Amino acid sequence: MNITRTTIVFDARDMGAESSFWAALLEGTVEADPIEDDWHDVIVNGETVVGVQLAPDHVPPQWPDGAHSQQIHLDLHVPDIVAADAEARALGATLLQTTDLTKKSGFVVYADPAGHPFCLCWG
Residue 33, CA distances (Å) to 17, 54, 65, 71, 94 in order: 16, 12, 35, 24, 28
For the stretch 61-79, pLDDT in tens is 877 777 766 666 787 889 9
Q: Which domains does the chain have, with CATH numbers?
A: 8-54 (3.30.720), 74-122 (3.30.720.110)
Residue 104: predicted pLDDT: 92
pLDDT of 84 higher than 90:
yes
pLDDT band for 3, please (50, 70, 90 cuts): low
Instruction: In whole angstroms, give the CA distance from residue 67 to residue 92.
Output: 24
Q: Kindly state the average pLDDT of the residues 72-96.
A: 91
pLDDT tens profile 7-45: 888 989 999 999 999 999 999 999 998 888 999 999 999
CB-side neighbour CA atoms (13 Å) of 111? 17
